[in-house]
Amino acid sequence: SIATMVNIYVSRHGQDADNANGILNGHRNGPLTDLGRQQATDVAHKMLDAGFRFSTSGNDAPEGKTILSAIYSSPLVRALHTARIFADVLKDGASDEGKVELLDDLIERDFGIMAGLPTSSITAICGEDKILATDTINYFLDPEGAETFPQLIDRAKRLVTHIDELTKDLPSDSSILLVTHGDFGKMLYAAYYDILWEDVLRQFHFGNSEVLLLSKDSFSDKAHVFETQQFNA
């Protein structure tokens, strides 16, 4: 395991047009749909109701509140828009100057030749022996130009090391929020809790705007914090 001192909350972006249309997006850079903006807003308000606040002031959290000391986003617009919705809602009207910060390593998996193709084409293009099939998604393993899941695990470990550096001056019980993507979010979870990537893909769904907790004090089976009930890719 590669536990950090801070608690890391991880959200997937809200729905974008590719999600809605069953298209593999990868590094394609379309905006959120109306539903995607609503998903992000709804989950942000659930977090607000549960006592989360976004503040970079460094003040101690009031009783019963969880202060998010930083919000980091993938550079892709669907994640950045989601992160900004979270930031706006979780400031809760305060005049805090905190802004969403970009971390390149939060970007989605490079889908290689699969980007822009229908999700329904995965098996035909990649072949039965080059996919991992689950109840909700068929995952392609190594088509031309795509990052593999082991490569994503390596990127996730590098990111966690970087986050430890970025947050080293925060109190050890501090919390931050990362806004990322489906495949990379799952591999971040796998790397943090030292779980085989194949097992995570089979057992685990990470829907639009869902939130996970990565914490040295939490077990992997308790990771889902706020879930939305939908199953697009």
Closest by CA position to 13, among listed 55, 70, 76: 76
| pLDDT on residue 95 | 75
What's the predicted TM-score (pTM) here?
A: 0.92
Distance CA 116, CA 129 (A): 22
| pLDDT on residue 229 | 41
Which H helix or E strand runs over 174?
none
DSSP, res 169? T
Distance CA 147, CA 127 (A): 17
3-state secondary structure at position 152: helix
Distance CA 13, CA 203 (A): 20
Specify the residue for token string 């536990």: 3
Q: Token pair of 59, please? A: 């003040």
| pLDDT on residue 3 | 61
| pLDDT on residue 93 | 83
| pLDDT on residue 39 | 95
Asked if 45 and 209 touch (Cβ cutoff 8 Å), the reply is no
Helix axes 34-49, 77-90, angle to 10 degrees: 40
Which H helix or E strand runs over 102?
strand 101-102
3-state secondary structure at position 81: helix
Helix axes 149-166, 182-193, angle to 10 degrees: 70
Q: For the chain of 233 residues, list the mean pLDDT of each consecutive stretch of 10.
A: 79 96 97 96 94 85 86 98 96 83 98 97 96 93 98 97 92 91 95 93 87 81 57 36
Distance CA 120, CA 148 (A): 20
Rg of the chain over all Cα atoms, to the nearest angstrom: 17
